[in-house]
Structure 1
Amino acid sequence: MNKLIIITICGVLLFSASSCKKFLEKAPDNRAELSTAANVAKLVASAYPQAPYAPLGEMYSDNVSDKGPNATGINLDLPFPQMYKFEDVDEDSYNTPAAFWNGAYAGIAAANQALEAIEKNDIGPSANPYKGEALVARAFSHFLLVTFFAKPYDPDGANDTPGIPYILTPETNPYVKYARGTVASVYAQIEKDLEAGIPLLKGGEWQVPAYHFTPAAAHAFAARFYLFKKQWQKVIDHANQVVPNGDFTGSIRNYPAAASLTTDGTAYANFFCNGDAKFNLLVHEMDARFQRTTFFANRYAFGPAVYSWYTASNVTGTKFYTVGFTYSTGNYTLSKLREFFFVTNAAASIGYPMLQMPLLTTDEALLNRAEAYLQLGNYDGVLADLNMCARYKFTTYNPATMAVTLAKAKDFYKVDGVPADDKTALLNTILDFKRWTFMNEGMRYWDMIRYKMPIKHLLIANDNSESYITLEANDNRRVFQIPKDAVQLGGLQPNPR
């Protein structure tokens, strides 16, 4: 990465090997040829984050734990020990906050280049779906950035704390200074792009729809966005447009179908990342090293303490279908993300690993709708959505014994023998369903910041004594630090510490 390019990737780098390697698509070789809708469509295929947010989201959540000094087969590869201890990471290599920052802005740069090409070349209505895709993709990457690098949006607050730079034009000058704006201004521009982009997607045709912001994917993103804004009816309205008639039957992750694949980690990952699966609304590939022993065999990662929660009985009265692949004792991976090797020189066996991961799914849209129903007092709708989710999470589902009920939820989440109130019980059920469903995918962090949950990490000393690092809701360290190059060379204000 050229250190002089602080935020976006300069135009000539947009089609680097790491920016667009779809299975069935290639970017045009010459930007001067971006005068047709077909070529713009190829460019927009790279308008997505070029690095995963999963390392950030997992490490700043309760999905990781200290395996202890006596654990076997562990490593201390950076940046995971640093992030586990909530320390700022100065490096910009794989799995770091800076890597995600740069990767997200690379996608934004491609979106802006596509939008400029459409405008300058006056391509006409045939480019509308790709203009819509570029607008929604631009909103999506900015949304991811603001959730990790700025304080959470508060619907009842001023939201006048620093946001992140919202880039609206292609970058041609690597020395531009940027302003962060505010959380409020970033959210306003996200909503503007989203509302402008979604209508344009109608009638679009994509060779591999799951690699693009189709209308269904865009509505799923909108449901997530309005969940953060606590505009509950909009969450429901958009979730209902993800699948026909708002009926998710047969359209979410089907664990009985995955059960036969447990002996083959590659096949299992292919199941979760399959672009043809109804549950995958947006899948993307990126140059990344997340699903490797660097993370899963790290001392501070997804170990026995978290895996025991993942495999435990839940509010249904029994266990969801679970699987864990191990590198050595206590070092688990759920093998839900697909890694493949992209060969750049077959004769020399040179290349790099690419990580394929789902970015938007029907499961999330369904559970987001359940949360919106809860906040609007529609408990019957909540239970219906929870049971829609649950019925596909067992190898064999028996509704007579495995259904979610209000009575079960209140009893399961009781405190000191006192049953939880109705709303608390159902909210905990929704959040736990989401935690379980998206384990290892980096999404738990968002629920923790939205509900101001303490982020508590165990530390085990050499004598096996235990202590904790806890980030309360007002702790500045809950927000990731702006990369040092963006601060030192780009002139951005760092987050307070």
Structure 2
Amino acid sequence: MRKNIIHIGLILLLAPCYTACSSFLDELPDNRTELDTEQSIANILVSAYPQSTNCEIGELYSDNTDENSRAYGYWQKVEEDLYNWKDTYEEGQDTPQALWDACYAAIASSNHALQGIKNLGNPTSLNPQKGEALVCRAYAHFMLATTFCQAYNSNTAEQELGIPYMETLQTTVAPHYERGTLASVYRKIAADLEEGIPLINDDAYSIPKYHFNKKAAYAFAARFYLYYMQPDFSNCKKVVEYANLVLGANADEVLRDWKYLGTLSPNGDVQPNAYIDASEPANLLLLSTSSTLGGVIDAGYGLCMRYSHNAVTGLEDCYSTGLWGAYTRFRQQPFEPSRSPKISFRRITLMAKIAVSGGGFYPYAMVPAFTTDETLITRAEAYTYLKQYDKAAADITSWQKSFTTHTQTITPEMVDQFYGSMKYYNLNEGVITPKKTLSPDFTLEPGRQTNFIHCILHLRRITTLGEGLRWQDIRRYGITVQRRYFENEELMDITDTMDKNDLRRVVQIPANVIAAGIEANPR
């Protein structure tokens, strides 16, 4: 049985030992921390946030990454496996195994807290902790579903494989688990969110940005309901409702100060540290994760240069042209290191090198799980499906005035004209643009609606570069991804292609989980 990676907070709190071997638990409940006080329940919720992230999986799976010269190396073998869409057997940081372990450990802590609250008689004084536990449980299951399941499709979700939705503490070793359906998973996430959000109280936290505070929970709900797309787009009303609670009456006042960020030095970790600062109003929830993400995607580090975001990839995002004009109008400019093919914005970086035996270090990443900027783009997408194009254009204007030096007010006609006339990406003809053929499993009207979606996908790709969300947009919109091999920015080969029907679009669940009897994703 392999050594389990356990967050140090779990050890300090003497919380349960969790493993992803033959079961999620390897100790019976007698060994769990006894939650008999309100403080002990608050303490265990520190470990209700996944200590791993799917950001690196998303970046390496998506079209944000290309292969550079094979003379370059990679940091961990998992990077090669993920880039090539292989079912990896690696188990270290940023692997599907690590994500699976971390999410179910977080879920177990949430359920432990909920059981402790119940044992204490559900006092109203613990409502904030109950709300946090429910939203945390929903979030960890959402992370699992958006990695190990198909993108939600209302026509097929009742037949698609879900993931085990854990709503209670386990009382036996090696219980039997069923994956259920994707539809049932999304219904349960919605139920946990709707019950938990009203109970959250920011006053319960010393540093709200490290917990599901009210606005972070609203932003999560907005993203969840956008992904939970219904044929009549009724959920888009909920997206707008929750996004409004995040953005307030004037979204311009709560977006990131990109102008200030752009004045900071891109050298060292000055820009990245400012980007993930808890005092930055745009950051709604910050997660500390065991991850090599910063070293892999941050151009400030000469690691993983073989599989990275490069200058050619940048023509689709950080070097792209948009309604604002040229990329030189971006307030934050892409970082262009010498002697490296890696090009990106400096945002997520390699964090504190914690000394371990042998003189090595233990990398981690601070990840902004939810921000006001991304929530604004989410709302614009919902407005587009509600055909409220003036409101969507207003949100696009807010983004543009915040992120670029271009101050012109955007109209629906301008979006139509610009993205309608932009050429589609076509590598065979040497056309590299952000506009790629869309093939979602829901109705997308040609013309204005499609042009707005192209614009919104463009903005989200720029805004969240390095944070894994591009992969979710690829899945939701059925975008084909090519594996491109470059030498000195010259295209040498297309080594693989993944279209919307490729079964590899769903990450395989860990091998030892399959061996324990849980149904594998089809291949």
* Short-chain TM bin: 0.7 to 0.9
Instruction: Please say if residues 132 and 201 of structure 1, whose CA atoms lie closer than 8 Å, have aligned partners that are also in contact.
Output: yes
Report the AA paired with residue 160 of structure 1.
Q
Code of the residue aligned with 1:335 in structure 2: it is R
Matches within 5 A, 1:10-159: 15=13, 32=33, 34-69=35-70, 73-75=72-74, 77-122=76-121, 124-159=123-158
Cα deviation digits, residues 33-67 of structure 1 (max 9, x gap): 63332332222122111111111111121101121
What secondary structure sits across from 1:191 in the alignment? helix
Deviation at 1:68, TM superposition (A): 3.1
Match of 2:282 in 1: 279
1:100-124 alpha-carbon deviations (Å, 9 max, x no partner): 1111112112111111111112361
Match of 2:159 in 1: 160
- For the Cα contact (< 8 Å) 1:65–1:457, is it kept in 2? yes
Residue in 2 that maps onto 1:197: 196
Q: Is the 8 A contact 2:389 2:412 kept in 1?
A: no
- Cross-structure match for 1:447: 473
What is the SS of the residue equivalent to 1:391?
helix
Structure 2 residue corresponding to 1:239, chosen from 238, 243, 267:
243
> How far off its partner does 1:425 sit?
1.6
Query: Conserved in 1, the CA contact under 8 Å of 2:247 and 2:376?
Result: no
Quick one: distance in 2 between partners of 1:74 and 1:241?
A: 45
Residues in 2 aligned to 1:336 and 1:229: alpha-carbon distance in whole angstroms:
29
Matched, 1:407 2:414: yes
Which moves more between the two structures, 419-428 or 434-443? 419-428
What aligned pairs does 1:74-473 form with structure 2 within 5 A after superposition?
Answer: 74-75=73-74, 77-122=76-121, 124-171=123-170, 173-202=172-201, 204-230=203-229, 231-245=235-249, 247-293=250-296, 297-309=304-316, 310-319=318-327, 320-321=330-331, 322-324=333-335, 326=337, 328-341=339-352, 343=354, 352-394=362-404, 397-400=405-408, 403=410, 406-407=413-414, 409-414=416-421, 421-459=447-485, 465-473=492-500
Structure 2 regions of 5+ residues with no counterpart? 18-30, 230-234, 425-434, 436-445
Instruction: Tell me the TM-score normalized by structure 1.
Output: 0.87
Cα deviation, residue 312, structure 1? 2.5
Amino acid at match of 1:427: I
In 2, the alpha carbon distance for the partners of 1:421 and 1:142 equals 36
* CA distance in 1 between partners of 2:369 and 2:147 (Å): 15
Distance 1:423 1:43, change over 3 A: same
Asked if the contact 1:256/1:393 (under 8 Å) is kept, the reply is: yes
Q: Secondary structure at the match of 2:460?
A: helix
After superposition, the Cα gap between the structure-2 partners of 1:16 and 1:429, relative to the gap in structure 1 and judged at 3 Å, is farther
Matched, 1:487 2:494: no
Give the stretch that moved more between structures: 101-110 or 258-267. Answer: 258-267
Query: Cα gap change, 1:337/1:460 in structure 2, threshold over 3 Å: closer, same or farther?
Result: closer
Amino acid at match of 1:390: Q
State the distance in 2 between where 1:14 and 1:154 align: 42
Distance 1:44 1:338, change over 3 A: farther
Q: Distance in 1 between matches of 2:521 and 2:338?
A: 37
Q: What secondary structure does 1:242 align onto?
A: helix
Separation of aligned partners in 2, 1:461 and 1:338? 26
1:307-356 alpha-carbon deviations (Å, 9 max, x no partner): 343123222223223231537321235331244337578x9978633311
* Partner SS, residue 341 of structure 1: coil
Q: Counterpart of 1:399 in structure 2: which amino acid? A: T
Q: Cα offset for 1:385?
A: 0.3
Does the 8 A contact of 2:400 with 2:407 survive in 1?
no
Tell me, yes or no, if the aligned pair for 1:40 and 1:118 is still in contact at 8 Å: yes
2: CA distance between counterparts of 1:226 and 1:294? 28
Q: 1:128 to 1:276 in 2, by over 3 A?
A: same
Distance in 1, Cα, partners of 2:364 & 2:307: 23
- Count of equivalent residues: 474
8 A contact 2:74–2:80 mirrored in 1: no
2:23 is aligned to: none
Secondary structure of 2:494's counterpart equals strand
- Partner Cα distance (2:114, 2:283) in 1: 26
Alpha-carbon distance between aligned partners in 1 of 2:413 and 2:491, rounded to the nearest angstrom: 40
Q: Matched residue of 1:399: which SS?
A: coil
2:282/2:373 contact within 8 Å kept: yes
Work out the percentage of aligned pairs sharing the same amino acid: 31
Counterpart residue type for residue 248 of structure 2: P
* Alpha carbons 1:47, 1:106 under 8 Å: kept: yes
Q: In 2, Cα distance between the equivalents of 1:98 and 1:219? A: 29
CA separation in 1, counterparts of 2:314 and 2:134?
39
Counterpart CA distance in 2 for 1:41 and 1:51 is 21
Q: TM-score, normalising length from structure 2?
A: 0.83
Residue identity opposite 1:329 in structure 2: S
Letter of the aligned partner of 2:144 in structure 1?
Answer: L
Aligned-residue offset at 1:422: 1.8
Cα deviation code 1:383-442 (max 9, x no counterpart): 100111111112xx3424x8566325523442669x982222211110100000000000
Give the structure 2 partner of residue 25 of structure 1. none
1:186-239 C-alpha deviation (Å, 9 max, x unpaired): 111111111110111146421110111111111111111110122111110111
Residue deviations 1:132-174, cap 9 Å, x none? 0010010011011111101121123343211111112234544
CA apart distance, 1:4: 8.7
Any stretches of 5+ residues in structure 1 without a counterpart? 20-29
Name the amino acid aligned to 1:34.
L
**Aligned AA for 1:414?**
S
| Inter-partner Cα distance in structure 2 for 1:282 and 1:480 | 25
Amino acid at match of 2:70: P
